[in-house]
Amino acid sequence: MNWGELRFCLISNFIGVEMSDFLKYLPGRLGNPDSLLNVDKRLDPRILAAYKAAGMDGPPEESPVSAESSYEECLAHCVDMESNSTMINMMMSQNMPEFPSVESTTETIKGVDANDILLYIHRPKDVAGKMPCVVHTHGGGMVILKASDPTYQIWRNSIAAKGVMVVGVEFRNGGGELGNHPFPAGLNDCCSAIRWTAERKTEFGISSIVVSGESGGGNLCAATALKAKQEGWLEEISGVYAMCPYVSGAYADPPEDLLSLRENDQYMLDVSMMGALAKVYDPEGKHSSSPLAWPLRAQKTDLEGLPPHVISVNELDPLRDEGLAYYRKLVGAGVSAVGRTIHGTPHGADMAFPEQVPEVFESTLRDLVGFAHSLS
């Protein structure tokens, strides 16, 4: 029996409440280990309807891999995950919205490892004078997916349509089509993209640079600030906007203080699967304590002096509490930081469902754009 259970037994004996009566009021899988996202009353019904329309409202399949699986098995699962996303991407591509006010181009640059990095550049056509720039690092646990995927194209164009330049980074992944490149390859590419953009602030008319990403991209945007501080170029980053960040690396044995890893397990994300993705990112676990690999490992001295941050999390996300824990560490280190929880949403849903929950999509979009303008 751990201390939490012992404490509850002492309290329950005092007030006469049975453990079973108490547990049923706890959220998600804390109260019912068999709870599913589609029956959780906290879920926005519009998102549930979208899942039903896509046939995604059934019970989740158990992850075939975990942190205990071999590196090769984890790599193979990355390929399978990307293959499954291909059909979704094809469906989304058929209904891509148009953004007539945005000019989109590409640029290939050289990274610090002498590799080619493709950048997707989106500029609003009707903005005179300087504008902020968002360097976007896409999701996928640092090991799968691409900046060219429709979800990320829509998100970047939506930001640009609000009067902000956007640079999307096609960084090297730990696995999948753009792998196999473990840590720190993807992080190095994101830093190269930021530095390339900063060198061209005058050319592009950029007033400030905000690094933003979701999930694995939330890890990378936080890590770029930490790396910039270590290497002495932190002044090139004006702010960080991390969405549903995947930053703890603690998925093989979830710690008690990150309750959402149990509360919301298998709510879109499977904690066992995230442990497997962490192995793909850091195959031998040599960097498990490095804040550049897992920003939640950062100490106060690592965080002091960082630029303003926004940490945005989703209520029904297994990653919710690690994002909030990172926010609290930033505040404790004296960093100007805002924590934001989007209720009724699972992992990344505020940017993934622009048609189904337009108010939620627009709220996050406005918040990011407003943050970027506030730093100009």
pTM, entire model: 0.94
Name the residue among 267, 246, 268 with its Cα closest to residue 258. 246
Name the residue among 264, 334, 322, 266 with its Cα closest to residue 294. 322
Name the residue among 330, 260, 320, 269 with its Cα closest to residue 295. 330
From CA 51, how far away is CA 48, in angstroms rounded? 5
pLDDT at residue 191 greater than cutoff 90: yes
Q: Mean pLDDT in the chain?
A: 93
Beta bridge partners of 206: 131
pLDDT bin (cut points 50, 70, 90) of residue 89 is confident
DSSP letter string, 303-347: HTTPPPEEEEEETT-TTHHHHHHHHHHHHHTT--EEEEEETT--T
pLDDT at residue 10 greater than cutoff 50: no
pLDDT of 367 reads: 98
From first CA to last CA, the distance across the chain in angstroms is: 53
The pLDDT > 90 percentage for the chain reads: 85
pLDDT bin (cut points 50, 70, 90) of residue 20 is low
With H, G, I as helix, E, B as strand and everything else as coil, classify residue 245: coil
- For residue 117, what are its two tokens? 């990095």
Find all residues with CB under 8 Å of 151, minimum gap 6, and list them: 92, 351, 352
Judge contact between 37 and 346, C-beta under 8 A: yes
Find all residues with CB under 8 Å of 12, minimum gap 6, and list them: 18, 19, 22
**Residue range 117-135, pLDDT digits in tens:** 999 999 999 888 999 999 9
pLDDT bin (cut points 50, 70, 90) of residue 369 is very high
Helix count (H) and strand count (E) of the chain? 15, 8
**Residue range 230-264, pLDDT digits in tens:** 999 999 999 999 999 999 999 999 999 999 999 99
**Residue range 321-335, pLDDT digits in tens:** 999 999 999 999 999
pLDDT bin (cut points 50, 70, 90) of residue 21 is low
From CA 211, how far away is CA 240, in angstroms rounded? 5
pLDDT of 6 reads: 45
With H, G, I as helix, E, B as strand and everything else as coil, classify residue 178: coil
pLDDT bin (cut points 50, 70, 90) of residue 12 is low
From CA 190, how far away is CA 182, in angstroms rounded? 14
DSSP 8-state code for residue 268: S
Domain 88-374 = CATH 3.40.50.720: no
DSSP 8-state code for residue 189: H
pLDDT of 84 reads: 85
From CA 163, how far away is CA 52, in angstroms rounded? 35
pLDDT of 19 reads: 58
pLDDT of 47 reads: 95
pLDDT of 9 reads: 57
- Amino acid in the structure at residue 4: G
DSSP letter string, 12-72: HHHHT--HHHHHTTS-HHHH-TT--GGG-TTS-HHHHHHHHHTT--SPPPPPS--TTS-HH
pLDDT bin (cut points 50, 70, 90) of residue 55 is confident
pLDDT of 122 reads: 98
Judge contact between 174 and 142, C-beta under 8 A: yes
**Burial class (CB within 10 angstroms; exposed 0-12, middle 13-18, buried 19+) of 16:** exposed
From CA 37, how far away is CA 317, in angstroms rounded? 10
Find all residues with CB under 8 Å of 227, minimum gap 6, and list them: 187, 191, 292
Q: In what order do the strands lie in the sheet with 116-124?
A: 102-110, 116-124, 165-170, 131-137, 206-214, 239-243, 309-314, 337-342
Judge contact between 161 and 124, C-beta under 8 A: yes
From CA 267, how far away is CA 360, in angstroms rounded? 19
pLDDT of 123 reads: 97
pLDDT bin (cut points 50, 70, 90) of residue 88 is confident
Q: Residue ranges per domain, the chain?
A: 88-374
pLDDT of 85 reads: 83
pLDDT at residue 173 greater than cutoff 60: yes
Q: For 344-351, what is the mean pLDDT?
A: 97
